[in-house]
Structure 1
C-alpha cells in the first residue's frame, strides 16, 4: 500500500507527563502498561533523555516487596506512593508512578495534576480530579519527608538507596 507505514508491535507509547519547570518533589507522572515496569523503562529513558540529558541514574522510592497503592479504591491514602527519580546530565525528574491497573479517567487526571497541566473547568469537581489532587498531594508530602530524612543522613549511608545504574 502506498503511503502506509508498518507499525512495530513492540513499540509502546509511553504514558508520561513532565512539568515545564523541574525541581519539585513531584515533576510529573508515568502510567506504565503493566506491573513489569522494566519492560517499558528503556522507552521512558529514551523519551526523557531529550529533556534531562543522558540518563545517568534511576532511583526507586519503594522496595520490591511493596505493592503499589490501588488508587481506585478507598485505603490508598495510608499507602506509600511510588516515585521514580530519573537523573540526567542536565536535570532530574521525580515521577509519580500511576499503578498500571488504575482506571483511565483517574490515571489521566493524575498525569495532568502531577505535571501541573491545565484541567478543564468541567472536570474540576469530578471524583477523578479530587482523587488525583489528593494522590499527588500525598506523594509530594511523602517525597518531602523522604528528602528531608536523606538530608540528615551521612553521605555514605545515603548512597545505599536502591539504584539502577549504567544506563
Structure 2
C-alpha cells in the first residue's frame, strides 16, 4: 500500500516550524488508545523528521491518564495533571527530531486547541478567553519544566540525527 490515506479523524498535531525548543509542539490523540493512533502520527511527522527511528516517552503503561478540563465557573482545573507528570514524547527521525506534549484526549475542544497552538509557539488565533489562555500557558510552561527535568540521556536527540537531509 502506498501513498497517504484519508483519515476519518485527522491527526491533531501542531508543530513549531523551527524545531529544537524545549517543546516543539503537541499531539492531541482522539482516544486513550494511543497505540492505535501512532501510525498516523508517524505518517504526519515523516515530511518534517524523515523516517522515524525512535520514540521515547516519559510515562509507563501503568501511569494514570491525565484529564484536562474547564469548570463551569470559568476557573480552570488541571485534575490529573497536578499529581502526574505531563506526557511528553521525543520522536527522532532520520533528519530531525521533535519534542511533543501529549494533550489528553478528554480535553475540551477550546482548551485542547489552545494548548496545541501554545506548545507550537503559534498565535492564539481567535481564542480570547483569558482564563483559557492562562491555563494553556501554564500547561505548556509546566511541560517545558518537566522536559528540562528529564535526565540528559533520557530525552536527548540521538547524535546521528541532524537538521539537514542525509
Tell me the TM-score range normalised by the shorter chain. Answer: 0.7 to 0.9
Using the TM superposition, give the Cα deviation of residue 141 of structure 1 relative to its aligned residue in structure 2, in angstroms. 0.3
1:144 lines up with 2:148 in the alignment: yes
Aligned to 1:96, what secondary structure does the other structure show? strand
Q: Distance in 2 between matches of 1:120 and 1:32?
A: 21
Using the TM superposition, give the Cα deviation of residue 20 of structure 1 relative to its aligned residue in structure 2, in angstroms. 1.0
Using the TM superposition, give the Cα deviation of residue 9 of structure 1 relative to its aligned residue in structure 2, in angstroms. 8.2
CA RMSD of aligned residues (A): 2.0
Q: Choose 1 or 2 for highest CA Rg.
A: 1
- Out of 44, 62, 67, the residue aligned to residue 65 of structure 1 is 62
**Between structures 1 and 2, the one with greater helix share:** 1
1:14 aligned partner: 11
TM-score by length of 1: 0.78
- Out of 37, 41, 45, the residue aligned to residue 44 of structure 1 is 41
Q: Is the 8 A contact 2:111 2:132 kept in 1?
A: yes
TM-score by length of 2: 0.78
Please list every run of 5 or more consecutive structure 1 residues that lacks an aligned counterpart in the other structure.
1-7, 154-167
Q: Distance in 1 between matches of 2:136 and 2:120?
A: 12
Aligned to 2:152, what secondary structure does the other structure show? helix
Q: Distance in 1 between matches of 2:19 and 2:86?
A: 19
Aligned to 2:21, what secondary structure does the other structure show? coil
1:25 aligned partner: 22
Please list every run of 5 or more consecutive structure 2 residues that lacks an aligned counterpart in the other structure.
70-76, 155-166
Seen in structure 2, the aligned counterparts of structure 1 residues 67 and 89 have a Cα distance that, compared at 3 Å, is same
